Structure 1
């Protein structure tokens, strides 16, 4: 039985959004979901900007002990909020101040400052740029591959197969949705990183990951890894003009 909470998750089925639904499922929390219509620019509407002034997903609202509304945005901050408030038994975390806690924090920041931005840019230049720019694509794909190599070396030394210690943590949760989207982001394969591949499928065996990856709709990225480049580019066509329009709006704001 899920533990009651007042959490409302504002999300879409992107890697950053999936981090939060997976964490919520791993913690066994009840929560509500509000799918944000990104391609209708719902994330830019005034009501949503009151929750996240940056106009991005994911975001959550919750209530404190006195009933006051709490608003948290940025996926890393949300993950830290969830464990600080709801993970008293350290199901997906370690006690604050322990060496494991700081290792988890380090890997979380590694994802937020490295894998997410680099792979996100690789995705943009692989699928959504109006013109192919080999230098830009190569820059971000190679940096993403370097980051995967860092993770590969670390996991090779992990007895548990997790990033930190003997359990899954918010570090694993933050990185996993990005790794599942490797091919859509321009990496043709990750077979050169066998420990990363093993880690990815080990986590998929967890019920929390299986449930959380399908919020707010079925997870697409693992299946997309089996598609050809032509098929992937065809699927991405829907977003090319939307991204160009969004760039123009942001520049004019």
Structure 2
């Protein structure tokens, strides 16, 4: 069974941008994209819930030469899958044998999509997504402090030693951690020059430019009058 075509459901800047970035690294422009308007609450419509019951992006649709269609809906799983699918691109340590490099790569990929993402998400929803009556300043302070004290030092120690998160070469994990660092910077976190230099290195990649060419369409704060505010469940 061979993959015939890939299609990404995407909204600018958010988690699906991690996948779009990696797809550009791997396939240039040879994949399909359908834009999902999250602020217009498209993700809560029945037709989209049939695609992803978690009402979120990304969704990666995988079409095979046998006519089979599959979907993946978690950015970390998708990034891991894609990087392993194209070993000739050298964006992940080999999955076919044990290595310290593979262990570290998986550790940092999961760190980005679980611990780091969770903290940033709590900050974001309580500052810019939830209705005003549901926002909690204590939650914002808690996760800002936790991120500054616990996450930033771990990432900075790595980036002082090597130009990329898992060493001297760019890998798929940088699509995850790089996205998280930029997300943090949008909330006045990761202010060290070490992070600025890291993002500058990433931004010099042609695939990065393609992945974030739609970033101007993204608005950080969800307007109060938008329907998605009423439908949002977390």
TM-score by length of 1: 0.79
| Counterpart Cα distance in 2 of 1:89 and 1:176 | 22
Is 1:218 the counterpart of 2:219? The answer is: no
Q: Name 1:80's counterpart in structure 2.
A: 80
Distance 2:80 2:177 in 1: 14
Matched with 2:70 is: 70
Q: Tell me if the contact between 2:22 and 2:175 (Cα under 8 Å) persists in the aligned partners.
A: yes
Q: Which residue of 2 aligns with 1:147?
A: 151
SS across alignment from 2:66: coil
Counterparts of 1:35-50 in structure 2, within 5 Å, are 35-50=35-50
Q: Which moved more, 1:87-96 or 1:41-50?
A: 41-50
Q: Distance in 2 between matches of 1:147 and 1:113?
A: 12
Residues 100 and 206 (structure 1), Cα distance of their counterparts in 2 relative to 1, 3 Å cut = same
Root-mean-square deviation (Å) = 2.5
Structure 1 portions without partners, runs of 5+: 222-231
Aligned match of 1:224: none
C-alpha distance in 2 between matches for 1:178 and 1:220: 19
Q: Pick the aligned partner of 1:180 from 179, 182, 191.
A: 182
Query: How far does the alpha carbon of each residue in 1:172-231 deviate from its partner, in whole angstroms, 9 at most, with x for none?
Result: 10121222233433x2x533x3322211111111111111122xx23568xxxxxxxxxx
2:170 aligns to what SS in structure 1?
Answer: coil
Q: Would you say the 8 A contact 1:111–1:175 is kept in 2? A: yes
Residue 175 of structure 2 aligns to a residue whose secondary structure is helix
Deviation at 1:241, TM superposition (A): 5.1
1:111 match: 112
Query: Could you say what secondary structure the match of 2:9 adopts?
Result: strand
Which residue of 159, 165, 168 maps to 1:166? 168
Q: Which runs of 5+ in 2 are unaligned?
A: none
CA distance in 1, matches of 2:224, 2:147: 22
- Corresponding residue of 2:53: 53
Tell me if the contact between 1:42 and 1:48 (Cα under 8 Å) persists in the aligned partners: yes
Q: Secondary structure at the match of 1:153?
A: helix
User: Residues 140-172 of structure 1: CA distance to partner in whole angstroms, max 9, x if unpaired?
Assistant: 1112223122100122222xx111133211211
Q: For 2:140 and 2:101, how far apart are their aligned partners in 1?
A: 35
**Measured at CA, do residues 240 and 98 of structure 1 come closer, stay the same or move farther in structure 2, by a change above 3 Å?**
farther
How many residue pairs get matched?
226
Deviation at 1:117, TM superposition (A): 1.1
Corresponding residue number in structure 2 for 1:195: 194
8 Å CA contact 1:60, 1:71 repeated in 2: yes
Structure 1 residue 36 displacement after superposition: 0.6
Does the 8 A contact of 1:8 with 1:62 survive in 2?
yes
Deviation at 1:123, TM superposition (A): 1.6
